[in-house]
Amino acid sequence: MEPAVQVTVVMPNIPSSLAKVGDKLRASDVNIDAISCTEGSQSTMIHLIVDDPETAKIVLKDLGPVTMEHILSLKMRNKPGAIANIGRACAAMGVNISYIYATTCGKEAMVYVAVGDVPATIELLKKWEKSAGKLN
């Protein structure tokens, strides 16, 4: 459980938006570790976890507004109930989840959770794990 830097770019909701993001990042040798797109009627928000957030912010800025924020990153076992455990733990600690997305590969998963205060949430979840058991 640790913070991760998420890069978000807001772009027109049209064909080619995702291709443009991918092309810009590839041209700058920035690898995408995780991605989530939230569609709106006029625009789409593309959330990215990348290996070089600073470069991504620079190369994506001509596509639309770009922001960076810290989100919670959890490496977990890929098994039924893992997401429920995150939800239960956050609820028990009074932490609201703004949104969540995950990537999996075999028996492992990386889960990214947007919360209001990442460092405080990490400390609360550590306490929760000690009293209630592991998240994964």
**Nearest Cα to 90, choosing from 102, 77, 99, 80?**
99
Last residue of a domain, one of 20, 47, 69: 69
pLDDT in tens, 59-109: 999 999 999 999 999 999 999 999 999 999 999 999 999 999 998 999 999
Q: Which domain holds residue 33?
A: 2-69
pLDDT in tens, 38-56: 888 899 999 999 999 999 9
Q: Is residue 17 within 8 Å of 44, Cβ to Cβ?
A: yes
Is the same domain home to 20 and 75? Answer: no
Angstrom distance (rounded) from CA 89 to CA 122: 11
Is the same domain home to 83 and 103? Answer: yes
How many distinct structural domains can be found in the chain?
2
Alpha-carbon torsion (42, 44, 62, 22), positive or negative: negative
Last residue of a domain, one of 21, 42, 69: 69
Length of the chain: 136
pTM listed for this prediction:
0.89
